[in-house]
Amino acid sequence: MSEKIQTLDRYYKDRRGIVVHVVGYDRAGDRVIFLREQQGYKPECAQPTEQFQRKFTRVL
């Protein structure tokens, strides 16, 4: 990850209950970077922060 990206280690779930692993926050691009580990999808995914906040809920 770039030095402009804040490293995170958090888990969120979508409305269907699928859990994703949030690994970073790109402040400059205002986007959340996450992995879809349970789905077996290897590449990092990213969504604008506002969209991510609407679609995902933090898992404690």
Question: Helix or strand or coil: residue 24?
Answer: strand
What is the percent of the chain with per-residue pLDDT over 70, rounded to a whole number?
A: 95
What is the band of 2 on the pLDDT scale with cuts at 50, 70, 90? low
40 against 14, higher pLDDT:
14
CA-CA-CA-CA torsion for 54, 57, 6, 21, nearest 10 degrees? -120
Cα separations (Å) of 23 from 26, 29, 49, 55?
A: 10, 15, 13, 17
Rama region for 29: left / alpha / beta (φ>0; ψ in -120 to 50; rest) = alpha
pTM of the model: 0.86
The domain spans of the chain are 5-59
